[in-house]
Amino acid sequence: MAEPEKKTARRRRLPSAERRQEFINKAIDFFAEEGFESSTRGLAKRLGVTQPLLYRYFPSKEDLISEVYETVYVHRLKPDWTEMITDRSQPLEQRLNRFYEVYTDAIFDKTWLRIFLFSGLKGVDINRRYVELLRERIIEPIVDEARHEFGLDPETAKDDELEFAWVMHTGIFYYGVRKLIYEATVLEDKTRMIEDAVAAFLLGLRRKMVGGSGTGPS
């Protein structure tokens, strides 16, 4: 009465290169949701293939994870970010607003943020490299441009100025974390959030660099 029940599952037999990339892409989503401690069997199930097949394409789970990191981080890197910040044909405030609009469009992605946070907690090397890259290509250029704006020597950026830029940057960054990771209620107007942060940053930086209006109401 029961049907013949063909046991052997259909095999799609994709060419190697595509298959490999498909595995990596879906592994990114999988590990971002479940964490890197999740099993290769769970991943294979989601992929619709058997678990040993993964080992045809990656020598070990760790190698697969490395490729996940590499792909995730590399794909978000836009080399023209620095140019957006240093393009003096526009006012600095406008440049920063535009940059953070674009930057947050790139990284405010649930998968990316989770991978970033996971890798940071694990002390993975690529996370450190990314943070260093941020400093070189974003934080330092921002402070340099601000010093230029205020007529100071760009070469002598102070540590507290860089720190101040970090605080603004990570404050904006964490808006995405609160929204997409903690799923908290945030201001829906992202542009407004950025403009307020950038404006306060420049106000505060000018106060630090060239003195100026105090803070108290008196």
Partner DNA sequence: CACCTTATTTATCGATTGAAAAATAACATC
Partner DNA sequence: GATGTTATTTTTCAATCGATAAATAAGGTG
Q: What is the contact surface with its own copies in residues (CB under 8 A)?
A: 35, 37, 91, 93, 114, 117-118, 120-123, 127-128, 131, 149-150, 159-160, 162-164, 166-175, 177-178, 181-184, 186-187, 189, 192-193, 196-197, 199-208, 213, 215-217
Give the shortest CB-126-to-DNA separation in angstroms. Answer: 19
**71 lies in the binding site for DNA (CB under 7 A):** no
**125 lies in the binding site for DNA (CB under 7 A):** no
Choice between 49 and 97, CB closer to its own copies = 97
Burial of 130 per CB tally in 10 Å (0-12, 13-18, 19+): buried
Residue 80's binding partner out of its own copies, DNA, none, with CB under 5 to 8 Å set by partner kind = none
Place of tokens 């298959």: 19
* Nearest Cα residue to 30 out of 10, 59, 9, 51: 51
SS3 of 1-41: the string is: CCCCCCCCCCCCCCCHHHHHHHHHHHHHHHHHHHCCCCCHH
Choice between 72 and 205, CB closer to its own copies = 205
Contacts of DNA in 14-43 (CB under 7 A): 14-16, 19, 38-42
Give the shortest CB-123-to-DNA separation in angstroms. Answer: 19
Q: φ and ψ at 5, to 5 degrees? A: 55, 70
Residue 133's binding partner out of its own copies, DNA, none, with CB under 5 to 8 Å set by partner kind = none
Q: Which amino acid makes up residue 205?
A: L
Alpha carbon distances (Å) from 25 to 18, 30, 53, 65, 108: 11, 9, 16, 11, 18
Give the shortest CB-2-to-its own copies separation in angstroms. Answer: 40
Q: Which residues bind DNA (CB under 7 A)?
A: 7-16, 19, 38-42, 49-53, 55-56, 59-62
